[in-house]
Chains A and B, each alone.
Chain A
Amino acid sequence: MATFVDRYPDEAKVVQASFAVAFIALGIGAFFGLIQALHRTNILRVIDSVDYYTLLTAHGVLLALVFTIFFLVGVFTWAIAKGFERPLPDIRLTWAWFGLMTTGTVLTAVAILAGLVPEIPMSADVLYTFYAPLEAHPAFYIGLAMFIVGTWMAGADWFLAYRDWRGDNPDERIPLQPFMVLTTMIMWYVSTLGVAVAVVFFLIPWSLGLIETVNPLLTRTLFWYFGHPVVYFWLMPAYLLWYTVLPKLAGGRLFSDPLARVVFVLFVLLSTPVGIHHQYVDPGIAEGFKFIAMTNTMFLLLPSLLTAFTVVASVEHGARQRGGEGYLSWLGALPWRDPAFAGMALAGLMFAAGGFSGMVNAGMNINYLVHNTLWVPGHFHMTVGTAVALTMMAGTYWLLPQITGKTVYSRPIGLFQVVLWFIGMVFMSNAMHRGGLLGIPRRTAEPQYQNFDFAAAVGSVGEIRMQIAFGGLLLFLSVVFFLFNVAATWAEDRVDTPVDDTIPAPLSPPSGAPLILDNLALWTGIAVVLVVLAYTLPLASIVTDSGLLGSSPGFPVAISLEALAEAAASALPHVSLDAAAGLRPLDVAAEAAETLEVSR
């Protein structure tokens, strides 16, 4: 029985290469994660606190952008060839986007890591959100731009494959997996436009010194225009695996093909016009716009609930076919010993928990409780850090045999590894959430302010620190086991049938889905209209407020204390008496700021 690598040897090489880059990024990123977890809890400090931000930037970029997206392009390439049952149109194009993405990644990674070596005049400690006024070396932005253009080319590659397939099959429904790939890429094209504009028109010229200043709120808003859809970009390969692979691993069949299509279409429509929900505390954006973003966000609960239902029902179908009975005891009939199944199921469970904290983040009023606290990393280590990352690791145990023709080196190590990740994340993420409720900030190497006691009702800050450090250690070990297992699998000899790679037909077939669901142009059009509606006014008001290029120089800048003192001194006489008495404090601040502005 031939598997993917026998049928599509050229495509299999690209998938292998993409996975290899993803896993290297995972290894380095997880190592930095461990250092951070130990450093900020003051358990073990091997780096200088100043370098913390270099590592944090590398951790965010390597894991949230490189690992996830390289794995994504690998899975999507697999899904396109397998789904359309044909090789990609031109393998040179495929290698071209892979090469561009990889070159961009290397450039960006070098720019970040050079920050650790004082001799190299290069740094990019701007964190993976890279908006102004933090400024990086141009190589960082140029690398990112190459990376994104590479993903665009990958999308073009897959759409060309679609065109070829459509030519031969004019009346057929788009197979489900390619449908998921294509809709995800439409969302990606719509949303990366924002970050591309920010990087190409503002950040690159600014870092090269071609323009002096930028409007930080504008680049922030453009970043978050992309910053929410990117979370669905991470999530969609995981959803693809949950919808099409997990039911099979569980011994069942997908409950409903039409429902799966509806969910992906909803994500195309709703992913982008919500980005402002990351800016609830940004001054300069009117409350009304934030409220609209919140409302749209709540609509996004719909596809998430549909997914919960469809995926769980499909898994239950497997359990029942395997002899499961009862209201809950069917859960015991699932193939828990299978690391691919168990990993994805645990990932899904953790995603459900991440949904709880996500609802808190999404609510404008309660967001203020947790904004920029450690709660937020607690939340996204459950979502992207587990729902996505653990699904990808678990999926690897089923995909790697198909793209290499080799059986997985050790099933027990695999099972142990995915369970260890779950346990580690329970410790780390739970403690981060708690720490955030106490007000411990995120993104800081020195979270222990002297003269401030974080009051804990249950337990203590010390315990929270221990749990973060312990959880981080378990997570790192889990990655080590994973990488070992993968490397050992790669080193084995090829066999005839490394894995059962069939995917059974859905219970409710695609023929039941309304034809309009396959009308990709229509959904693209509606998505664009929704984006225009949600973003025109906020962007217009940001630009009219402080101009396209704004007035913010880059940070970090070398501040001379003398100039600062001078500015303060010259600002002092402007403080009028009644203001000093507290009657018009705002005006004082504004006046003082003006003087500062002038004297700089």
Chain B
Amino acid sequence: MAAEPESEEMPTSAGEGAGDGASIPDTESIDDEGYVIGSGRAGVVRQIDHDDFDPIGTLVLIAIYMAIVGAMWIFMYFVEFLGGDLTVIG
């Protein structure tokens, strides 16, 4: 990508707390005052690389999305093709 090949190593350039391991940063220092836009990486408490990362939360969100699409599709089938009672447009 564009910048910083050295950040492959993920140095602590992004700020406090981005070190190795689970050093939990001081809550107050990242609380409301003085937060600078774009410094989300200052809140990093652990490094996760490609092999340790399992995007299960993404799967959950996409499953929710698909469930909504599916439900709406079935709903539309009633409205449009069966002409049944279930309708929003009267």
B residues in contact with A313, CB < 8 Å? 55, 58
Contact A341 B65 (CB under 8 A): no
The chain B residue with its CB closest to the CB of A243 is B1
Contact status B53-A503, CB under 8 Å: no
CA distance A411 to B40 in the complex (A): 14
Total residue contacts A-B, CB cutoff 8 A: 164
Q: Point out the residues of chain A lying under 8 angstroms from B44, CB to CB.
A: 251, 321-322
Determine whether B21 belongs to the interface, using a CB cutoff of 8 Å to chain A: no
Q: Does any Cβ of A come within 8 Å of B68's Cβ?
A: yes
- In the complex, the answer to whether B38 meets A505 with C-beta atoms within 8 Å is no
Instruction: List the 5 shortest-distance A-B pairs measured between CB atoms, nearest first.
Output: A313-B55, A335-B40, A251-B40, A455-B90, A83-B2
Given known pairs A457-B87, A502-B13, the reply for A251 and B2 (CB within 8 Å) is no
Indicate whether A241 reaches chain B with its CB closer than 8 angstroms. Answer: no
* CB-contact partner of A407 in B36, B47, B60, under 8 A: B36
Across the interface, name the chain A residue whose C-beta is closest to B43: A322
> What residues on B are CB-neighbors of A320 within 8 Å?
46, 48, 53
Q: Which chain B residues border A455 with CB–CB below 8 Å?
A: 89-90
The reply to whether A500 and B14 form a contact with Cβ atoms under 8 Å apart is: yes
Check A327–B57 contact: CB distance below 8 A.
Answer: yes
Give Cα A339–Cα B36 distance, bound, in whole angstroms: 10
CB distance from A452 to the nearest CB of B (A): 14
In the bound complex, residues from chain A placing their C-beta under 8 Å from that of B53 are 255, 317, 320, 507
A44 CB to nearest B CB, Å: 28
Interface residue? A308 (CB, 8 A): yes
State which residues 41-68 of B face A: CB under 8 Å. Answer: 41, 43-50, 53, 55-58, 60-62, 65, 68
Q: Does A319 contact B (CB under 8 A)?
A: yes
Contacts of B61 in A (CB 8 A): 312, 328
- Once the chains bind, are A338 and B40 in contact (CB under 8 Å)? yes
- Partner among B32, B39, B47, B55 whose Cβ is within 8 Å of the Cβ of A500: B39
Smallest CB separation, A67 vs chain B (Å): 22
Instruction: State the CA gap A504–B44 with chains docked (Å).
Output: 13
- Give the chain A neighbours of B15 by CB distance below 8 A: 500
B83 within 8 A of A: no
Output the least CB separation between A54 and chain B (Å): 33
Q: Does the CB pair B4–A505 fall under 8 Å?
A: yes
A366 CB within 8 Å of chain B: yes
Q: Closest Cβ of chain B: how far from A500's Cβ, in Å?
A: 5
| Residues of chain B within 8 A of A397, CB atoms compared | 37-38
Q: Is the CB of B41 within 8 A of A319?
A: no
What residues make up the interface of B, taking CB atoms closer than 8 Å to A?
1-5, 7-8, 10, 13-15, 24, 32, 35-41, 43-50, 53, 55-58, 60-62, 65, 68-69, 72, 76, 80, 87-90
Q: Which of A82, A317, A330, A340 contacts B38 (CB 8 A)?
A: A340
Query: Contacting A398 at CB < 8 Å: which of B37, B43, B90?
Result: B37
> How many chain A residues touch B (Cβ–Cβ < 8 Å)?
73
Q: Which residue of A lies closest to B49 (CB)?
A: A507
| Interface pair B88/A458, CB less than 8 Å apart | yes
Report which of B32, B40, B46, B60 forms a contact with A248, defined as CB distance below 8 A. Answer: B40
> What is the CA–CA distance of A328 and B59 in the complex, to the nearest angstrom?
10
Q: Which of A82, A340, A458 contacts B2 (CB 8 A)?
A: A82
Shortest CB distance A85–B (Å): 8
Q: How far is the CA of A506 from the CA of B87 in the complex (A)?
A: 47
CB distance A504 to B35 under 8 Å? no
Show 16 A/B contacts (Cβ-Cβ < 8 Å), sorted by A. A82-B3, A249-B38, A312-B61, A313-B55, A327-B56, A335-B43, A337-B35, A360-B76, A411-B36, A434-B88, A457-B87, A502-B13, A504-B14, A505-B4, A505-B5, A510-B1
A321-B46, A352-B65, A457-B90 in contact; A504/B58 too (CB < 8 A)? no
A322–B32 Cα distance when bound, in Å, is 16
Q: Is the C-beta of A135 less than 8 angstroms from some C-beta in chain B?
A: no
CB of B60 to closest CB in A, whole Å: 5
Q: Is the CB of A312 within 8 A of B58?
A: yes
- The reply to whether B88 and A502 contact each other, CB–CB distance below 8 Å, is no
The yes or no answer to A430 lying at the interface (CB within 8 A) is no
**Quick check: is A316 within 8 A (CB to CB) of the other chain?**
yes
Q: How far is the CB of B66 from chain A (nearest CB, A)?
A: 10
Q: In the complex, what distance in Å separates the CA atom of A459 from the CA atom of B41?
A: 46
A322 / chain B contacts, CB cutoff of 8 Å: 40, 43-45
Bound Cα distance from A503 to B8, whole angstroms: 10
CA distance A457 to B89 in the complex (A): 6
B48: which A residues are within 8 A, CB to CB? 317, 320-321
B89 to chain A, nearest CB (A): 5
**A326 proximity list for chain B (CB < 8 A):** 57
* Contact (A408, B37) CB under 8 Å given A313-B55, A317-B48, A352-B65: yes
With both beta carbons as reference points, the residue of chain B lying nearest to A400 in the complex is identified as: B37
